[in-house]
Structures are given as structure tokens and as C-alpha cells.
Structure 1
Amino acid sequence: MTTTTQPESALTTAVDETIRLVSEHYVFPDVAEQIAAVLRQRLAGGAYAADSAEEVARLVTEDLQSVNGDRHLRLLFHADEVPAGKGEATLADLRRDFDSSLGGAPRVELLDGKVAVLELAPVIFPVEWAAAPLGAALSLAAPAQALILDLRRCRGGVPETVALVCSYLLDERTHLNTQVWQGGEIQEQSWSQTHVPGPRFGGTKPLYLLTSGRTFSGGEELAYDLQQLGRAVVVGERTGGGAHPREGWTVHPHLEATVPVGRSVNPVSGTNWEGTGVQPDVPVAAEDALTRAHELALERLAEIVG
């Protein structure tokens, strides 16, 4: 591991570049001006005169989030040096997580009563990586009588892959979400797929989603989309509240500026989960959510049989 202590000028340059990126790319231009003004004032006042990239990242992130609390707006510290360029630091971290988590599906289990549990963690990875492992896991769970998706450790994800997962849990092509990019002129809709590789669990059998306060971003989208469609029962805790898709830029060998460049609009609610999180249908402590969801599944299956 390389040292993270850098000359002040390199860290100052990183803060300057972060200010520029926020000003040019943040989804809400009027808020971007306010945030940039805060950072410029703090920089001029010596607030970021720390001797480590990690400390500068902490201080700048606090100020980035001080105006409107957008938790996707961050200056991220990376202990190891990260590649230069747009998105390269994020991809490097994602690849390590992908390789150590069975492609984002670290657990598939069959519980009593033919209730399957599938955990999606630590993130829902890019579809070109994750289609095979997620498709295999979802197909394996397809014959179950009920399914529990565990999102308690899912800290993010990619909309295209969220749509793929939903495709295994619905019976027909369905509008899931719309991304509205900076300025609002460009919109991109997300739909479930008509066909998927292998069998699907389908759109009628009982489905439960487990959430925690750590569930964030793409994990929240999956829960929110299915909840708004009335397809799933969310069990657990209110999620973190991050609904803005973001891009990342390396601004220093150990620092990545992440800036939200769009916002989500759900076709059912007309809004999203930014700042509020996904509210569980059955509130329960995260550590008890699996037990409670299993109980609910068994009760529902007994009703169906009866």
C-alpha cells in the first residue's frame, strides 16, 4: 500500500477540481452553485489544510452534503492508488467486490416451506458482468413457493441490472423507472425484459424484500420499484435515501469525486426515495427481518393452500 500523505498543493488541486465537477455536472444547477460557493469559501479559509487525502476527503464530503444532504455527493478516499479518468476508480473497486461475492449473489438457500432466500450484495453489479451469476441464482430460486430477496447489505447498483432482476420477478414487460438527467431535457426509461435466460420466479408467487439502514442507491431502487408496483412486501428498516445516479472522477491518486448527474422518477409514485428512503411495509429491526419475512411467507402460503 502506498502512502496517502501528499503535498498540500496536490490536495488543493483535488478540491479545486471537485468544485469544477460539481459546478458543471450536478443534477440541480442552482444547488450546485450553492455547494460550490461553500467549498470555495472553506478552501480559501484554510478548512482543508489537512496533511492526508483521507482527512481532506472527510472534510470536503461534509461540506458537499451540507446544502441538501445528497449522500451520493462525495469525495471518496481510496487507500490504494486508483486509475485516472472518469469512472475508473469505481470500476476498480467494483471488480474486486464482484470477484469476492460470487458476482453479487453470495447466498442462495432454501428454507422450510420451500421458501428461497437470495442475497444480493454488496452491490448489484454492471449487467455485462452480473447477468450470468444473477440469472443463475434467480433461475435456481425460480421453483420455490416464495422468495425472499435480502438487500440488507446492498449498498448500490446499476439500473440496467436492477431491471434484469425485476424481469425474473414479473410476468410481462413493465415500466420500472425513469432517469432524468441534468437539465431535464434527456430522459431514459428502464423496463423489465420480456424474455430472460432460464426459468423465472414470476409475478404471482409471494415475494419479500429485506432492507436495512445500509441499503442504498441501486438496492433501494430494486425495493422501491417492486414495492410501488405492489409486487413485493418490504420487511426491515428504512433505507438510506439515495436516488440520484452518479458519476465518479479521479481527482487525485487517492481521491474520487462522485457527483449525481440525474434523478429517478418512478412511474407509479411520480417521485423517488431521495432523502426519505424506502419505507418498509413491515417495520422490524434489520437483524430480525429474515425471520419475520419467513414467517410472513409461511403464513401467506398457508392461506393460498387453504
Structure 2
Amino acid sequence: MTSTTSSPALDTAAVVESIADLVHENYVFPEVAGELADLLRRRNAEDSYRAGSAEELADAVTEDLRSVNGDLHLALKHHAVPVPSGQGAAALAAMRRKFDASLGGVPRVELLDGGVAVLELSPHMFPVDWAAQPLAAALTLVAPAAALVLDLRRNLGGDPETVAFVCGYLLDGRTHLNTMLSRQGEVAEQFWTPSFVPGARFGGEKPLYVLTSGNTFSAGEELAYDLQQLGRAQVVGETTRGGAHPREGWTVHPHLELSVPIARGVNPVSGTNWEGTGVRPDVPCDADEALDRALSLALARLAE
């Protein structure tokens, strides 16, 4: 016999009002934040969000949140299973489940022909205090390879500190990767590769290729972009989704989590980021062909 638990009542007007407040107070671009809050309140007053379910409300609000500047980190996310209350709690709980199911975010480590290793990082760049051990083990394992293919085609984002940790194995010396600016335009945080990494480094000289797809997003994009801008790697595959703004989440209903970008990243080489444009590959090809293409490039380079 299967038991069911009824969902908490959805007070649409109150939920949308709380969303408007959070966007207005936290979104990285204050002028756009005000415009979005006004839009949500106007649509709320017009009963435009009279949805039959939390999932339908999530779809409608997300469409409006992205209608001004197309920011893909702006979203009202529906969770079928009730999520913890509080700032950031829902995203962390969901990410922990994915971490446990993906070998810590390193589902594939393999040696291919000619001494070329492939290392897949997916589905997320998990928080570094969780992921340091599996990442260090995998990156140390591929360190002796003649060339490395880093597969980010299924990477959907995560922690910029983890991006810096991974880059520490792929670069020589402490390197500035990214600067986060607050909504006031002030430096909120800088990200550098660590001066020490546990295990062995692949290093900054051997051939390195990064695979991307149209689904690669957020911190997955940052890893590809940072290595590309530094001239350390060739990006092979498809243009990525184009989400560069770090986000924070708020539970606004047991089944609804609001995602709002709270800062913007600035790359020290390009002076900008990949927001809205995606990371453009150096070697464009279909995502399902990218591994074969990168392997061919690596073998040709090693044969020189």
C-alpha cells in the first residue's frame, strides 16, 4: 500500500511577493532588480500567476525573471520532494545527493590510446570541502599522462573554489583566475589557484583539451573559460550555455527554490566573462564528436 503526503497550500500571491522582495534586494544589477520586482508585482496584481501547481508557477515566474536580460541563473526552481528551508539549503541538499551518486563528481577516469588520459567532471563542481579528496585522487592518477582531455560536456556548474582547486593541478605556480564583484561594483572575492595541491600535478606544459557542450553551465563554463583565456587549453565542442553570475538560493515554499545571481565574475585576462555568450570553442564540433576530435588533436600534437 502506498501512502501519499499532501503538498502544503500554495499562497501564490504571497510567494510571488516574497520573490519580488528577494530579487529587488539581492540581484547583482540593481536597476534590473527594480525592473524585475516591478514586473513580478504587476503580474501578481493582474492574477497572471494563478497557477494550478507549484511546478506551473515555477515555469511562469522563471519566464518573467529571464525576460529582461536573459540571465539563466535567475529561476524559480520546482522540487518534487520538499526542500529544506533557509538560504542555500535546498541547493546544498540536492547537490549532496548528486555528489553521493557520481563518485564525488568524477565519474570517469580512463587512459586512451597513445598515453592520452580522459577525466570527466560531472554533474557538478561540488563544494571543495566535499570534492577535494576524489578530485585529488583522479587528478593525481592522470598526472603522468602524455596529454589530458578534460570532459565538461555534462557539467552543470558548482563552486568556483573547486574550479581553482582543479586548475591548481593544470597550471604551474599560483595564478589569478577570477574576481567577483558585488552588486555595488566592489571586489567581493578573488579566486587563485592554490600554492599547494595534494598529490601530483599534471602541470602547465603538456597538451590539455577541454570538451564542452550546449549544456555545460556556470562553474563548468568557468573552468573551460579560465583555461582558454590563459592559453592553457584548447576548448573542443559546442558553445556553452552562458551563465557567469554566481547565485544564491532561497526556499520560498517547500517545493520552490528561488535562484538569484548575487555577484558577477571578471576574468583578469579578458576583463569580462561568458555571460550571455557562452564559452566559444577553439575547435567547434558536435558535442558527441568532441572526444574523438580532441583525441586526434592530442595524438597529432604528441607526434610532432
**Pairwise TM-score range, normalised by the shorter structure:** over 0.9
Q: Which residue of 1 aligns with 2:136?
A: 135
Q: Secondary structure at the match of 2:210?
A: strand
Q: Secondary structure at the match of 2:191?
A: strand
CA pair 244-4 structure 1, distance change in 2 beyond 3 A: farther
2:9 is aligned with 1:7: yes
Q: Does the Cα contact within 8 Å between 2:10 and 2:54 map onto a contact in 1?
A: no
Q: Does the Cα contact within 8 Å between 2:216 and 2:241 map onto a contact in 1?
A: yes
Q: Does the Cα contact within 8 Å between 1:109 and 1:117 map onto a contact in 2?
A: yes
2:101 is aligned with 1:107: no
Q: Which residue of 2 aligns with 1:273?
A: 274
Distance 2:7 2:50 in 1: 12
Q: Which residue of 1 aligns with 2:254?
A: 253
Q: Does the Cα contact within 8 Å between 1:74 and 1:258 map onto a contact in 2?
A: yes
1:107-186 → structure 2 map (5 Å cutoff) = 107-186=108-187
* Shift of residue 38, structure 1, vs aligned partner: 1.1
* Shift of residue 185, structure 1, vs aligned partner: 2.2
Alpha-carbon deviations, 1:134-180, whole Å to 9, x = none? 01000001010000000000000201000000000001100001011
Q: Secondary structure at the match of 2:111?
A: strand
CA pair 222-4 structure 1, distance change in 2 beyond 3 A: farther
Q: Does the Cα contact within 8 Å between 2:103 and 2:134 map onto a contact in 1?
A: yes
Q: Which residue of 2 aligns with 1:217?
A: 218
Q: Does the Cα contact within 8 Å between 2:237 and 2:284 map onto a contact in 1?
A: yes
Q: Secondary structure at the match of 1:149?
A: strand
Distance 2:179 2:100 in 1: 30
Q: Which runs of 5+ in 1 are unaligned?
A: none
Distance 2:91 2:10 in 1: 24
Q: Secondary structure at the match of 1:168?
A: helix
* Shift of residue 51, structure 1, vs aligned partner: 1.7
Distance 2:6 2:146 in 1: 51
Q: Which residue of 1 aligns with 2:292?
A: 291
Count of residue pairs brought into register by the alignment? 302
Alpha-carbon deviations, 1:42-64, whole Å to 9, x = none? 11111110121000000000000
Q: Which residue of 1 aligns with 2:232?
A: 231
What TM-score, normalized to structure 2?
0.97
Q: Which residue of 2 aligns with 1:42?
A: 43
Distance 1:186 1:252 in 2: 32
Q: Secondary structure at the match of 1:60?
A: helix
Distance 1:2 1:55 in 2: 21
Q: Which residue of 1 aligns with 2:205?
A: 204
Q: Does the Cα contact within 8 Å between 2:179 and 2:187 map onto a contact in 1?
A: no
Distance 2:5 2:74 in 1: 25
CA pair 296-256 structure 1, distance change in 2 beyond 3 A: same
Q: Which residue of 1 aligns with 2:80?
A: 79
Distance 1:111 1:265 in 2: 35
Distance 2:199 2:131 in 1: 15
CA pair 2-125 structure 1, distance change in 2 beyond 3 A: farther
Distance 1:42 1:130 in 2: 42
Q: Does the Cα contact within 8 Å between 1:6 and 1:53 map onto a contact in 2?
A: no
Q: Secondary structure at the match of 1:84?
A: coil
Could you tell me which amino acid in structure 2 is paired with residue 102 of structure 1?
Answer: L
Could you tell me which amino acid in structure 2 is paired with residue 91 of structure 1?
Answer: L
Could you tell me which amino acid in structure 2 is paired with residue 111 of structure 1?
Answer: L
Distance 2:180 2:254 in 1: 31
Alpha-carbon deviations, 1:93-127, whole Å to 9, x = none? 00000000000000000000000000000000000
Distance 1:124 1:217 in 2: 9
* Shift of residue 8, structure 1, vs aligned partner: 4.4
Q: Does the Cα contact within 8 Å between 2:8 and 2:254 map onto a contact in 1?
A: no
What TM-score, normalized to structure 1?
0.97
Distance 2:23 2:222 in 1: 24
Q: Secondary structure at the match of 2:153?
A: coil
Distance 2:193 2:45 in 1: 49
User: Pairwise CA RMSD of aligned residues?
Assistant: 1.2
* Shift of residue 69, structure 1, vs aligned partner: 0.3
